[in-house]
Structure 1
Amino acid sequence: MFSRGYLVVVAAEAILLFGGIRLLAMWELPKEVNVAWVALVVGVHFIVLAPIWKEWGIAVPGVLLTVLGAAGLVLASTTAVVWVPFVSGVLSGVVLLTGSVAFGWRAVTARTA
């Protein structure tokens, strides 16, 4: 599970997260855009990990997080910037919670079957 591929993905994610947030600040974008950036990077991280772990189910929340992050980045350039934390933050949290419950439920039911 924690192979070289995983370590490369996590290292790239850390660089993209922290480097991206610094770039966004240098470009003087609203702080709300940081939430969208985090959702986008975390979503892509799940998509990239799916083939490495051979667990294609994690690509689903990955795609949803990526879309929510991208939507937040688009909203940040409009007058609807106040909605970015809800779209990219709260809804991403709902996706992660739902995914965690679904995967946990699947693991529990697989053990009892």
Structure 2
Amino acid sequence: MRKTASSLLIMALLSGTASAAKIDFSCAGTCDQTILCEILSEGNASDFDVKVTDASGIDIAGGQVNEYLEFEFPQPENNYGVLLFNRNEQVTRINGSDINVPCKCKCPPKD
């Protein structure tokens, strides 16, 4: 009986983990030399916050994503990371070194 109850509990926990929704989050540089991060999954903007921290963990920028599930900030000069929070729980982190920022030379001229 105990073994059956334990097996059922383990199966229930595993099925809950397997069905948990994954949040797709990405960041890329813009021609304006800013970083634009966006959530590519469905969700409510009020549930998500973004923090930008330097290498020592000090906050550089942060705030709530907009209605389009985007957050934009000026590119920091030094090493940084971008953290996504869903209802105050950290979901993911992207290292600044993994974010591609295009050279201004490859961007169309502004009128």
The reply to whether TM is greater than 0.5 is no
- More strand by percentage: 2
- More helix by percentage: 1
Q: TM-score range by the shorter chain?
A: under 0.3
Please give the TM-score of this superposition, normalised by the length of structure 2: 0.24
Q: Say which one has the larger Rg.
A: 2
